[in-house]
């Protein structure tokens, strides 16, 4: 089953009416390489139908995030990036000097997740995390304080 159909089926199972706009939004996310912004989704959907506005995109994205079908993260460029849960949990290291984004091994976060559950009874949303910092190249170039 294509990935967009999996998402659409999950939305239906949760009892949500599937408007053509919602279906197009889901398709845009499912067919995006990995991350996509609300604005990019809007452009894609608008090229297929005039009957859409950015508020519909945001409302649908909120719904998809709430249902755990999509996750979002801030990669330090002032935009919110959305990814389908199909991509699985992952973690980004974002350099605040050059803006480069490196993927980190998600397994590194599992002990943190476990400790937070044990010590605080807290279930953390670590499945799509962006960690700000300074990359190796910038450390050697700029010697930041
Ligand atoms: Zn850097
Ligand atoms: Zn991501």
Q: How far is the CA of 103 from the centre of ligand 2 (A)?
A: 8
Q: pLDDT: is 143 or 94 the higher one?
A: 94
Beta-strand runs (E) in 14-140: 35-37, 70-74, 80-84, 90-95, 101-104, 128-133
Query: Cβ distance 38 to 80 under 8 Å?
Result: yes
Using one digit for the tens of pLDDT, what is the confidence trace for 95-114? 999 999 999 999 999 999 99
Most confident of 9-13, 29-33, 118-122, 126-130: 118-122
* CA 123–ligand 2 middle distance (angstroms): 19
- Average of per-residue pLDDT values in the chain: 91
Instruction: Say which ligand is closest to the CA of 136.
Output: 1
The structural domains of the chain, with segments of one domain joined by +, span 1-87, 89-145
130: CA distance to ligand 1 center in Å? Answer: 14
Q: How far is the CA of 65 from the centre of ligand 2 (A)?
A: 13
| pLDDT the model gives residue 137 | 95
Q: For residues 29 and 61, give the distance between their C-alpha atoms in angstroms, rounded to a whole number.
A: 10
Q: What is the pLDDT of residues 74-95, one digit of tens each?
A: 998 889 999 998 888 999 999 9
Task: For residue 35, report the distance from its CA to the centre of ligand 2, in Å.
Answer: 6
Measured CA to CA in angstroms, residue 83 lies from 26, 53, 141 at distances of 11, 20, 32
- Start-to-end C-alpha separation, the chain: 51
Q: Domain 1-87 maps to which CATH number in 2.60.40.10, 3.20.20.70, 1.10.10.10, 1.10.150.120?
A: 1.10.10.10
DSSP 126: -
Indicate which ligand has the atom closest to the C-alpha of 138.
1
Distance 112 CA to ligand 1 centre (A): 25
Statement: 89-145 belongs to CATH 2.60.40.1940? no
């Amino acid at each position: 089953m294509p990935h967009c159909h999996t998402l659409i089926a999950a939305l239906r199972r949760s009892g949500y009416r599937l408007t053509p706009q919602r279906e197009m939004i889901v398709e845009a996310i499912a067919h995006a390489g990995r991350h996509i912004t609300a604005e990019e989704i809007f452009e894609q959907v608008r090229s297929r139908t005039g009957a859409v506005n950015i508020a519909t995109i945001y409302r649908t994205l909120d719904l998809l995030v709430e249902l755990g079908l999509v996750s979002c993260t801030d990669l330090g460029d002032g935009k919110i990036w959305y990814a389908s849960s199909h991509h699985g949990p992952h973690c980004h290291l974002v350099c605040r000097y050059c803006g480069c984004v490196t993927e980190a091994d998600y397994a590194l976060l599992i002990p943190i997740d476990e400790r937070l559950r044990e010590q605080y009874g807290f279930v953390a949303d670590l499945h799509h995390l962006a960690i700000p910092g300074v990359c190796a190249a910038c450390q050697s170039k700029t010697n930041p304080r």
